[in-house]
Amino acid sequence: MRINIGNRLWLKKVVSGMWYDTKSSHLLNTWRRQCFWLVTAQRRKGSAGSRWQEEKSEDGVKWKQLEHKGPYFAPLYEPLPDEVHFYYDGKAMKLSLATEEIATFYGKMLDHEYTTKEVFQNNFFNDWRKEMTVEEKKIIKHLNKCDFTEIHKYFVDKNEARKALPKEEKQKLKEEAERLQEAFGYCILDGHREKIGNFKTEPPGLFRGRGDHPKMGMLKKRIMPEDVIINCSRDSKIPEPPPGHKWKEVRFDNTVTWLASWTENIQNSIKYIMLNPSSKLKLALRAGNEKEEGETADTVGCCSLRVEHIQLHRELDGQEHIVEFDFLGKDSIRYYNKVPVEKPVFKNLQLFMENKDPGDELFDRLTTSTLNKHLQDLMDGLTAKVFRTYNASITLQEQLKVLTNAEDNVAAKILSYNRANRAVAILCNHQRATPKTFEKSMQNLQTKIDAKKEQLAVAKQELKRAKADAKVRKSVKSKSNVDKKKKLLAKLEEQLMRLCTQATDKEENKQVALGTSKLNYLDPRISIAWCKKFGVPVEKIYNKTQREKFAWAIDMADEEFEF
């Protein structure tokens, strides 16, 4: 589990002094009050300005009509051509179809780091052997005697061949994909045609857990129609299973939003076919009713944090009461931070750590449900997650206020925006690996900057000369020449400035992922209001997908919007 509450301490570093005093608790409350969040935002057609309006959703009913074609199934396995061999112990060996298919899963991944990991290898080999014929099982006993290199090469070549295809062929493939999208990628929801987010079943393969996942390499089985539950409305055209097959079940549950589901064999969890986030159903943000404002100052910490994850320093680098966090959060992203805390917090932490082993839970009396229950006592609808969202949005707004300079040009304003966004990403610990091409592209940019500087120097010289010339000759032509040179100089300066801004942005963004917070945490109305206020085109900060998802906000937010 990830630290939510812990993050609030972190905040102090990003925006000093703004976190959790009475003022911000008031803000939080106000926010919840004013946010009559659009439950099922609906566009009223034909009305002036086409506004988004709230629609009551009684007792969890999500739709009245739902019609679709069911999932599109992954293509069947195509056997390897005869000249591609698998070798065991140096000898070519023809595998049964099922065994071969699984062998290709491994072969395809040969150049991936996964296949060097022991856990991955063992899990794969175990599961593979389960699918082998009796004869195969007798022969294939050790993974290190298996040679998948021809299989690997076959797929690498195939990939390259596909890339090298002539234009017309590629176009054909593209059209085919579009046909699929048309046929299976949409559904009818309450009379509207809506895009489906994932209309294909997940193809079989080897499970790729993140971090040190104990199940990495296990066989992810092929999903069959017999595994799939269909959900649609009773009176709709019920999707046809592929010929010769049956659905596991067809149900008509309008209290859920999924169109189809199946249980995946690795973790035994349920997978869903659901709508694209741009669809109206997904716009539903938490419906928030106001309540008393409360105090949560003492509830610091994440429920499953263990003693070994923190270190207490009475004093460190001239600061008092430092908590050093070091643990892996969601997606095995490391969270490392040194946070100054108030003395009572520090004392309590000491208390919680007394007489415990490193592996013991730090907050052994705390679970997510008791924490959330407690939070709900303080304010209706308040959960740890709400903190995260609230934190992110209020930080963005605050940072935008601090960083934006109305006199700046658009490029500089965007840098300010990105910096504010960055503060949020850091707050939420949205990290990324430094891109592989980072150094190189940084260098490229630097080269460009240097070139531009040179051009600028030349332009300055020329302007000087032109001025001198104009002084002597005083002709109309020489005067217009001066103007021309001036314009050029200004243009170059502008360009240089933009490049430098870009470089700064890039450098600062080296290890920070902005997308997640932008898409999932930040109230888009803040960004849109900012754009309107400072004359920055919305497209500069939101790409197409994002604009689709936030269509409702673009429609309603004005520059006065305050979170």
Partner DNA sequence: CATCCCGACTCAGAAAAGTGGAA
Partner DNA sequence: TTTCCACTTTTCTGAGTCGGGAT
Buried b (16+ CB within 10 A) or exposed e, 172-205: eeeeeeeeeeeebbbbbbeeeebebbbbbbeebb
Part in contact with DNA (CB under 7 A); list of ranges 31-39, 51-59, 83-91, 260-268: 260-268
The only residue of 43, 121, 348, 435 in contact with DNA, by rule CB under 7 A: 435
| Residues numbered 4-43 forming contacts with DNA, rule: CB under 7 A | 4
Query: Under the criterion CB under 7 A, does residue 430 sit at the interface with DNA?
Result: yes
Query: Under the criterion CB under 7 A, does residue 218 sit at the interface with DNA?
Result: no
CB closer to DNA, 170 vs 473? 170
Query: Under the criterion CB under 7 A, does residue 79 sit at the interface with DNA?
Result: no
Contact call for residues 334 and 327 (beta carbons, < 8 A): yes
CB closer to DNA, 332 vs 461? 332
Query: Under the criterion CB under 7 A, does residue 177 sit at the interface with DNA?
Result: yes
CB closer to DNA, 348 vs 511? 511
Task: Please give the positions annotated as active site.
Answer: 521
Query: Under the criterion CB under 7 A, does residue 264 sit at the interface with DNA?
Result: yes
Helix (H) or strand (E) holding 262: strand 260-263
Contact call for residues 299 and 365 (beta carbons, < 8 A): no
| Residues numbered 86-125 forming contacts with DNA, rule: CB under 7 A | 112
Structure tokens at 490: 């200004």
Residue with tokens 């003022």: 23
Instruction: Tell me how far, at minimum, the Cβ of 474 lies from DNA, in Å.
Output: 39
How many Å apart are CA 164 and CA 167, to the nearest integer? 9
Part in contact with DNA (CB under 7 A); list of ranges 79-87, 139-147, 206-214, 404-412: 206-214
Contact call for residues 192 and 276 (beta carbons, < 8 A): no
How many Å apart are CA 254 and CA 271, to the nearest integer? 18
CB closer to DNA, 158 vs 484? 158
Helix (H) or strand (E) holding 468: helix 438-473
How many Å apart are CA 525 and CA 531, to the nearest integer? 10
CB closer to DNA, 25 vs 115? 115
CB closer to DNA, 320 vs 539? 539
| Residues numbered 442-481 forming contacts with DNA, rule: CB under 7 A | 444-445
Instruction: Tell me how far, at minimum, the Cβ of 385 lies from DNA, in Å.
Output: 3
Query: Under the criterion CB under 7 A, does residue 171 sit at the interface with DNA?
Result: no
Instruction: Tell me how far, at minimum, the Cβ of 104 lies from DNA, in Å.
Output: 14
Query: Under the criterion CB under 7 A, does residue 198 sit at the interface with DNA?
Result: yes
Helix (H) or strand (E) holding 316: strand 310-316
| Residues numbered 279-318 forming contacts with DNA, rule: CB under 7 A | 282, 284
Instruction: Tell me how far, at minimum, the Cβ of 136 lies from DNA, in Å.
Output: 26
Angle at CA of residue 89, ends 85 and 92, nearest 5°? 25
Query: Under the criterion CB under 7 A, does residue 431 sit at the interface with DNA?
Result: yes
The only residue of 32, 220, 422, 452 in contact with DNA, by rule CB under 7 A: 220
The only residue of 92, 139, 165, 270 in contact with DNA, by rule CB under 7 A: 270
How many Å apart are CA 61 and CA 67, to the nearest integer? 16
Structure tokens at 557: 């937010």
Contact call for residues 471 and 483 (beta carbons, < 8 A): no
| Residues numbered 502-521 forming contacts with DNA, rule: CB under 7 A | 513, 515-517, 520-521
CB closer to DNA, 184 vs 346? 184
Q: What distance, in Å, lies between the first and last C-alpha atoms of the chain? A: 28
Contact call for residues 100 and 86 (beta carbons, < 8 A): yes
